[in-house]
Amino acid sequence: MSIALVGALGYAGGAAIQQYEAVRGGATFKLVRRPRWWIGGAIGFAGASLHALALSFAPLVLVQPVSVTTLVFAVPLAAVLHGRRPHRAEILGSIAVSAGLLGIMLLVPQSHTRPELSTRGALWFLACIGVVVALCELFARRRARGTTAKALVTAIGAGAVTAAVSTFVRVVGGGLDGDLSRLFHWFTLVIPVLLVVAVILLQKSYAVGHFSVAYAGVQVIDPVTSVLAGVILLGEPVPTDPASIIPALISAAVLIGGTITLGRLSPDPSTLPCHVEAPVPVTTRAAAR
């Protein structure tokens, strides 16, 4: 789990730097001329790579909730870059995420079994993700640009696909056991395809006009979908006795509540000066998930 935490810190640092550059100069192609933007991207990619490595050693039900700590790390880093102190709501949201995550990590049973996914199960999973994305896109097209509902449904589709990336990374990476020949499987080819789709959907969700809603939505849907995939498809263990189930559900609720709180505090285009273009962060996280 320490690998996942370091990866979350790396992604948060990179995202904070890139977001700061986007706010200063606008989300245009001019960003590629800024060395600090590239540095942020490199740091974020390193963090995302560590997240993928963590998925090779630990189950989805443990690793994916750790990913929301990017918000906990990003909030103070963003505050420092913008020359201010974290707000009270940011501190409370960070505490809620940390407490919820700690509760989940303590309550989820440890598992070291190799993840296995049948071809039939993989196809059904991809079909379900495709249906979710199609329904979200259909609903989004019926909504006016810039509406909160459109931002939320596009985030749901993006979060579902990023969860699919994480699931296949877990299956491929966790199933190697030192045998690289196992990489020659169609599961491996699915990962980059899903990755491209995830990046496109993430940017579409951010571009709707309510970045805070979209970001919080992705941060909630991604781990929830990943955990469901881990439990249903990969048979990963979860608390089963009432004495553990209730605290686990409470911890999950606290984690989600803190995530939404921190996500809503992210810079929103409507709060930026009129001469600055709305930031559309270039994310590297989907590359690992």
pLDDT band at 239 (very low <50, low <70, confident <90, very high): confident
Q: Which tokens is 194 given?
A: 């899903």
pLDDT digits (tens, 9 = 90+) for 29-60: 666 677 877 887 888 788 878 888 888 777 77
pLDDT band at 211 (very low <50, low <70, confident <90, very high): low
- φ/ψ of residue 262, rounded to 5: -70, -40
Per the CB < 8 A criterion, the answer to whether 86 and 75 are in contact is yes
Per the CB < 8 A criterion, the answer to whether 65 and 10 are in contact is no
Higher confidence at residue 110 or residue 228?
Answer: 228
What contacts 24+ positions apart, CB below 8 Å, involve 91-97?
Answer: 92/258, 92/261, 93/258, 93/259, 93/261, 93/262, 93/265, 94/258, 94/262, 95/258, 96/254, 96/255, 96/257, 96/258, 96/261, 97/68, 97/69, 97/71, 97/72, 97/255, 97/258, 97/259, 97/262
Report the range of poorest mean pLDDT among 24-28, 146-150, 156-160, 234-238.
24-28
The answer on pLDDT for 173 being more than 60 is yes
Q: How far apart are CA 276 and CA 289, in angstroms?
A: 31
The answer on pLDDT for 189 being more than 50 is yes
pLDDT band at 178 (very low <50, low <70, confident <90, very high): low
Per the CB < 8 A criterion, the answer to whether 244 and 232 are in contact is no
Whole-prediction pTM = 0.72
Helices (H), ranges, the chain: 2-25, 35-57, 60-66, 69-81, 88-107, 119-141, 148-174, 186-207, 211-232, 242-264
- Which pLDDT score, from 0 to 100, does residue 279 have? 42
Please enumerate in sequence order all residues whose Cβ is within 8 A of that of 266, keeping only pairs 6 or more positions apart, or say none.
211, 212, 215, 216
- Which pLDDT score, from 0 to 100, does residue 22 have? 58
Which amino acid, 65?
P
- φ/ψ of residue 101, rounded to 5: -65, -45
By CB neighbour count within 10 A (0-12 exposed, 13-18 middle, 19+ buried), where does 234 fall?
Answer: buried
pLDDT band at 132 (very low <50, low <70, confident <90, very high): very high
